[in-house]
Amino acid sequence: MIVQYNWTYVQILGATGFVGSHALKQLSQIANINLIAACRDSSKLPKIFTGEVRQGDIRDEVYLSNLFNNVDVVVNAIAWSSIWGRASDSNKLFLQPSLKLIDYFMQSLAKKYINLSSTTVSATNGSHDALSPGKAPIFWPHFANAIKIENHLRQLANDKKTIINLRFGIFVGENYALGLLPILVPRLKSHLVPWVAGGQTTMPIIDGRDIGQAIALAATNESLSQYQSFNAIGPTMPKVREVIEFLNSEYQLPKPHFNVPFFIAYRFAWLMEKLDSIVPWEPLIVRSIILLLEETHTNNDKISQTLGYQPQYHWKESIKSQMTEMSARQKSPMKMAKPTT
């Protein structure tokens, strides 16, 4: 059960996206929460939402200057993303707007800021500790920017401004956006994707509904202060091999036909990236995807003990719900970056 504390006005930025929509649904079930949905297109909000809407673009200085009026808790679920390349786009569409957003939060009367991150940011040997500093890979500029934001927030937290950093596992579920599953599925169909390390590393899958639960708990807990960081994943963590074998048995997707160790996988992915300039399609595999297959050793111990987080949705159920949606929505392979708008 989620306990309602003193927080009153909770604002969700990016309320129509994957994370934002699940957070909106979870928080709307809590009594005495005044929920504010901030988004660029209010027509995409669920019809059942009757709370306040603040429509606009955070790159608009006028909109941003008034965004945090009468807000206690800010949930930043805005997430332009790229799995490969796009350094300039990531700076323009993600890093710079995020830093400016944080500046306005610090100047406002809002008390708590919830940031979204990934369990992989400190892979592989530090991911079990959500307070461990991130390690920026040189081959993934967008991920490096996510770590810059984490570090910036860590320095800003104080007695009056609480920063909650939630490092989530691999997103799966309804209302999906860019993620590993829609990138992986068409590549498995090529029969060219190998097992990496035998598929024996774990995949920290988390359903969007469990993400919503974690955000709601962080937003409504008044005992947290300064900078806090938590890992959050699903109730069980399958091995990569289990996930691919499930996709094979349920959806007849091909299983890999050969196996390579991680160091070979990284070299092969590097070669695919280099070939990008001379072929008309995106690389079959890139190093960031290999990084997401690395072992994280993460768990829910801290967030469960501190916030009472209890994930409910098994990874197989989550994959089924997303695959059903993908069959209707995804008519061609998903690009490895969101549109530059």
Q: What is the Cα–Cα distance from 23 to 224, expressed in whole angstroms?
A: 19
Which amino acid belongs to residue 106? Answer: M
Q: Provide the pLDDT for residue 3.
A: 47
pLDDT surpasses 50 at 1: no
Domain contains 239:
no
Q: Provide the pLDDT for residue 335.
A: 55
Domain contains 278:
no
φ, ψ of residue 259 in degrees (nearest 5): -130, 140
Domain contains 44:
yes
φ, ψ of residue 183 in degrees (nearest 5): -80, -40
How many domains, in total, are found in the chain? 1
Q: Provide the pLDDT for residue 204.
A: 94
Q: What angle do CA 247, 252, 254 make, to 5 degrees?
A: 80
- pLDDT digit string (tens) for 66-90? 999 999 999 999 977 888 777 888 8
Burial of 41 (0-12, 13-18, 19+ CB in 10 A): exposed
Domain contains 325:
no
Domain contains 115:
yes
Burial of 136 (0-12, 13-18, 19+ CB in 10 A): middle
Domain contains 258:
no
The H or E element that residue 34 is part of is strand 34-39
Which amino acid belongs to residue 130? Answer: A
Residue 54: band (very low, low, confident or very high) from pLDDT cuts 50, 70, 90: very high
Write the CATH number for 86.
3.40.50.720
Q: Which two tokens stand for residue 259?
A: 């196996």
The closest alpha carbon to 4, from 39, 43, 32, belongs to 32
Sequence-distant (≥ 6) Cβ neighbours of residue 125 within 8 angstroms: 297
Which amino acid belongs to residue 131? Answer: L
Domain contains 155:
yes
Domain contains 261:
no
Q: What is the Cα–Cα distance from 62 to 59, expressed in whole angstroms?
A: 9
Q: What domain range includes position 124?
A: 9-172+205-234+297-313
Residue 4: band (very low, low, confident or very high) from pLDDT cuts 50, 70, 90: very low
Sequence-distant (≥ 6) Cβ neighbours of residue 52 within 8 angstroms: 34, 35, 36, 37
- Which residue reads 């928080």 in tokens? 27
Mean pLDDT, range 144-164, rounded to an integer = 94
Q: Which two tokens stand for residue 11?
A: 């604002």
Q: Give exposure, 175-199, as e/b (b: 16+ Cβ within 10 Å).
A: bbebbbbbbbbebbeeeebbbbbeb
Q: Provide the pLDDT for residue 85.
A: 78
Q: Is 54 helix (H, G, I), strand (E, B) or coil?
A: strand
Q: What angle do CA 31, 20, 72 make, to 5 degrees?
A: 50
Q: Provide the pLDDT for residue 279.
A: 76
